[in-house]
Structure formats: structure tokens, C-alpha cells
Amino acid sequence: MAKRGFDIRKLRGFSGIAMTCFVMLYMPIVLLVVYSFNAGTSVAIWEGFSWRWYVSAWDNEMVQEATVRSLIIALSAAAIATTAAVLAALATTRNRKFRGQTAIFALIHQPLMVPEIVTAVALLIFFATIKVATGYTGLMYLIIAHSAFCIPFAYLPIRARLQGMDLSLEQAAADLYATPFQVFRRVTLPQLWPGILAGAMLAFVISLDDVVITEFVKSAGQDTLPTYMLGQLRRVVTPEINAISTVLLMISVLMVIAYTLLSRTKK
């Protein structure tokens, strides 16, 4: 047989390294999921199958409150971030090049570049000042903070979709007497939907999962699911944590699958 070109799979030790990586990545998660069904109170000693920790989490008022709070924040943040992302994407792809466009890119992507802990501290100080000045201590701070760091995640798929769109369609609509707003409503938006949904879901998952910024920004009694779990870990660890994590994992996996399906371009 003729000699083949370089094939990484043939490299000695490659499959070993690959296997190790997979095991290290997924083994802990598999264990986490398995032990969420543990009948005993340990996260390390298997004592038989049971749904008890799912029931226990479901009945836990703290978990219920944290879940509702997480959902409110994630949904609001996803909505706000997606709206802002759509406007930003339109401004950066459907306009003539304008002065400062690069600066705008940098601004939009700020959350991806600045270390999260720095943003968290900055927000803590900034919001503290406002809290003192206004006396308001509600959820808005968390929603605003989450919206801000979700924008780049919502922005990326929307921008990709806009750039992939045929500009001549919008010109054709304008040619057929559609005002700029009608062009957006009747031609741009219907084609942008998959990108918008994808962006919103990505933003939702990112918000749902955040610990660092939430931990710094939240007021007393404003635990979200992740910060509640972090708090619990400092005390007794029961498989209840595993159960909550498994549910979060399921939500994320479903979102990612939906995201992949939506962002796949039709051919």
C-alpha cells in the first residue's frame, strides 16, 4: 500500500493521551450524575439507587427560591442582552464604516477580555455607591450585571447570521418600496430569528451558570442557584448538590443542542 500522509492518530501515544483527557473531563461529571441517585447521604460511597435527593431538592425552600431568582435573572438578562446585541450587530454590520467602530467592538467584547473577578470587584464598588445613594437593594443590580456580561455571547451568533445574510435581499425590499423599518421587519428579522434565538439561549445559559460576579454583586438573601450551591458546599455536602447540578447540566445540554441546531445554516 502506498505511504499515507501524516495522520495524528498514528502517532505513538496519541490515543493514550486522548483517552486520558476524555476521562479527566468526563469522569467527574459521570460520577456526579451517578451519585445524584445515591440512596445514602455520601457523595462517595454508593448505597443503592434512589430519587430521594431530587425529591429533597425539590422540597427545599431555599432551592426553590434560588431557582426562581436564577430564572428571573437569566430570563431578564437574556432578553436585555439579546436586544442590545441585535442593535449592536445591526450597527456594526449594516452601517457604513464609522469612526470608532473598532472601539465599539472592544467595548462589546469587554466581558470576554477583562478578568471576571476585576469586573466583579468594579461592579461591587460601583453598585455599593448607588445602593447608598438610592437605598434600592432589589434584583436590578444582578439583572444589569448579568445583562452586561451576556451581551458578547448573544452578539456573536447574531452578528454571524447578519454577516451571512444576502445584502441584496434588503436592497430588493427597499427597491420594492419598503421603508428601512419595513425592511427590517419583513426581511431582516425573519431571517435573523435563528441567530437571535441562539444568542438568547447562549446568554441564558451563561447567566444561569454565573458565580463570580453574582457572588460579589448580590445583596443578602439574593442567592442564585450556583451561589446557593457554593454556600452549601462550605457546610455538609449531600447528594442533593449532585441532583441540582445534574438538573442544571441537563438544561445546559438541551440548550447547547438547540443552539447547535439553530445556528446550523440551512443548505
Partner 1 sequence: MTKAITAQSLRKVYPGNPPVEALASIDVEIQDNEFFTLLGPSGCGKTTLLRLIAGFEHPTSGKLDMFGESLLDAPPYKRPINTVFQNYALFPHMTVAENIAFGLQMLGTPKASVNATVGEMMELVQMSHLADRQTGQISGGQQQRVALARALAPRPKILLLDEPLSALDFKLRKQMQLELKRLQTETGITFIFVTHDQEEALTMSDRIAVMSNGAIRQIGRPREIYDRPADRFVADFIGDTNFLPAEVISNSGEVTRLRLSSGQEVDAHARDGAQGKVTLALRPEHAELTDDGAGLLAGTLREVVYFGTDTHFHVTLDDGSDFVLRRQNSPADGNDFATGDRVGLTFPAGAAQVLRD
- Min dist CB 225 to partner 1, Å, is 38
Binding-site member from 18, 91, 114, 172 for partner 1 (CB under 8 A): 172
Residue 11 is classified by DSSP as S
Does residue 247 interact with partner 1 by CB under 8 A? Answer: no
Contact (Cβ atoms closer than 8 angstroms) between residue 225 and residue 210: no
Does residue 171 interact with partner 1 by CB under 8 A? Answer: yes
CA 118 to chain centre: 19
CA nearest 85: which of 187, 204, 175, 231?
204
In the block, cell 455599593 appears at 128
User: From CA 220, how far away is CA 206, in angstroms rounded?
Assistant: 22
Binding-site member from 5, 115, 177, 234 for partner 1 (CB under 8 A): 177
In the block, cell 495524528 appears at 8
Q: Which stretch binds partner 1 (CB under 8 A): 38-46, 86-94, 133-141, 163-171?
A: 163-171
Does residue 47 interact with partner 1 by CB under 8 A? Answer: no
- Min dist CB 32 to partner 1, Å, is 43
Binding-site member from 13, 175, 234, 236 for partner 1 (CB under 8 A): 175
- Min dist CB 166 to partner 1, Å, is 7
- Min dist CB 199 to partner 1, Å, is 19
User: From CA 251, how far away is CA 245, in angstroms rounded?
Assistant: 10
- Min dist CB 142 to partner 1, Å, is 37
User: From CA 243, how far away is CA 184, in angstroms rounded?
Assistant: 44
Binding-site member from 14, 30, 114, 166 for partner 1 (CB under 8 A): 166
Binding-site member from 74, 162, 187, 206 for partner 1 (CB under 8 A): 187
Does residue 179 interact with partner 1 by CB under 8 A? Answer: yes
Which CB, 31 or 176, lies closer to partner 1?
176
User: From CA 48, how far away is CA 207, in angstroms rounded?
Assistant: 35
Name the H helices within the chain. Answer: 14-35, 52-59, 61-93, 101-108, 110-113, 116-134, 140-164, 167-175, 180-183, 189-209, 212-217, 225-233, 239-263
Binding-site member from 30, 128, 130, 176 for partner 1 (CB under 8 A): 176
Interior angle at CA 123, CA 117 and CA 125, nearest 5: 105
Which CB, 176 or 233, lies closer to partner 1?
176
Contact set with partner 1 (CB under 8 A): 166, 168-169, 171-180, 182, 186-187, 190-191
